[in-house]
């Protein structure tokens, strides 16, 4: 990782610290109406007949094989016929991967763990002149954001009551991008305290999506630039992203983000239980 020059206060991040911060990040999102399961070591949701296992890591009391089968059994009990398991890097993750492969699991997707050290300033991000980005501040903005998210994700749009709840709970860090006058994309970030005492906070970049008809027009870059600028102004010293290796990951690396690791998403049929 990069470091500041001699004589400056050391505020740069090591690779191990970034991986630690990545491991602390467990997405709270679930599709509207999904069946959510949360324990001290598991977070998963069931949507229709599919389980998405956001976090599942055994402690020392579990054999890894027994833990994997317990999580899959829990998913079956809630109607799942298949599962997508997000496996973090590290020794525990490697053990979970081995068991999942033994259960017939196949790699569905790779997630790049990417970061930008904000103590060095902001990256140069070329944003086209016809791309405008604004923060989400009112009900109209929330309604537009939800329409974008529904189109990008394939999930249903929220109803009026759900939109009102989103407005009531609106936090800073959500943005909408327009190409010309057309809503094109949305993204967010959240600030969290870091376990590293010498830094102030981490900006977790999440939820970036652009509607298919307006992709490759600069909306993603505009959303990235706006979030980084806003996060640095609020005191963040690290920007952290979990980016799809086939789409946003290469964009981040071209801009200058550093990839420090990779998560693996494994697809497995719950019929693979022994």
176 domain-assigned: yes
Residues 199 and 72 both lie in one domain: no
Q: How far apart are CA 256 and CA 259, in angstroms?
A: 9
Q: How far apart are CA 161 and CA 163, in angstroms?
A: 5
- Give the model confidence (pLDDT) of 58-98 as tens digits: 988 899 999 999 999 999 999 999 999 999 999 999 999 99
State the pTM of this model: 0.90
2 domain-assigned: no
Residues 171 and 106 both lie in one domain: no
Q: How far apart are CA 66 and CA 273, in angstroms?
A: 11
- Give the model confidence (pLDDT) of 208-244 as tens digits: 999 999 999 999 999 999 999 999 999 999 999 999 9
Residues 134 and 256 both lie in one domain: yes
Domain CATH code at residue 227? 3.40.630.30
Instruction: Give the bridge partners for 192, in sequence order.
Output: 202
Q: What is the largest CA-CA distance in the chain?
A: 60
Residues 143 and 227 both lie in one domain: yes
Residue found under tokens 């022994």: 274
Residues 132 and 96 both lie in one domain: no
Q: How far apart are CA 89 and CA 219, in angstroms?
A: 30
Is residue 220 classed exposed, middle or buried when 0-12, 13-18 and 19+ CB atoms within 10 A define those classes? buried
> Over 70: is that where the pLDDT of 10 sits?
no
Beta-strand pair 42-47/50-56: antiparallel
Number of domains in the chain: 2
6 domain-assigned: no
Q: How far apart are CA 26 and CA 35, in angstroms?
A: 17
DSSP labels, 214-264: GTTSSHHHHHHHHHHHHHHHTT--EEEEEEETTTHHHHHHHHTPEEEEEEE
Percent residues over pLDDT 90 in the chain: 75
Confidence at residue 9, expressed as pLDDT on a 0 to 100 scale: 46
Residues 119 and 255 both lie in one domain: yes
Q: How far apart are CA 119 and CA 213, in angstroms?
A: 36
Q: How many residues are listed for the chain in this entry?
A: 274
Q: 140 lies in which domain range? A: 115-262
Domain CATH code at residue 35? 3.40.630
């Amino acid at each position: 990782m990069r470091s500041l020059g001699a004589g400056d206060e050391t505020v740069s991040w090591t690779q191990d610290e970034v991986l630690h911060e990545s491991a602390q990040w467990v997405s709270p999102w679930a599709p509207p109406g999904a069946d959510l399961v949360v324990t001290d070591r598991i977070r998963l949701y069931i949507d229709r007949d599919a389980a998405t296992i956001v976090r599942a890591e055994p402690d020392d009391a579990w054999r890894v094989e027994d833990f994997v089968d317990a999580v899959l059994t829990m998913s079956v009990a809630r109607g799942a016929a298949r599962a997508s398991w997000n496996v973090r890097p590290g020794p525990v993750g490697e053990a979970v991967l081995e068991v999942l492969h033994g259960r017939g699991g196949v790699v569905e997707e790779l997630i790049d763990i990417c970061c930008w050290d904000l103590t060095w300033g902001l990256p140069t991000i070329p944003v086209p002149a016809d791309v405008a980005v604004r923060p989400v501040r009112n009900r109209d903005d929330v309604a537009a954001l939800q329409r974008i998210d529904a189109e990008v994700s394939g999930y249903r749009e929220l109803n009026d009551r759900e939109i009102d709840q989103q407005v009531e709970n609106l936090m800073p860090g959500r943005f909408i991008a327009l190409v010309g006058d057309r809503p094109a994309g949305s993204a967010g970030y959240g600030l969290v305290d870091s376990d590293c005492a010498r830094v102030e906070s981490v900006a977790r970049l999440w939820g970036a999506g652009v509607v298919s008809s307006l992709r490759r027009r600069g909306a993603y870059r505009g959303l990235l630039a706006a979030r980084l600028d806003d996060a640095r102004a609020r005191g963040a010293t690290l920007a952290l992203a979990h980016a799809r290796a086939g789409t946003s990951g290469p964009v981040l690396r071209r801009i200058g983000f550093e990839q420090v690791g990779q998560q693996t998403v494994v697809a497995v049929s719950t019929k693979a239980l022994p």
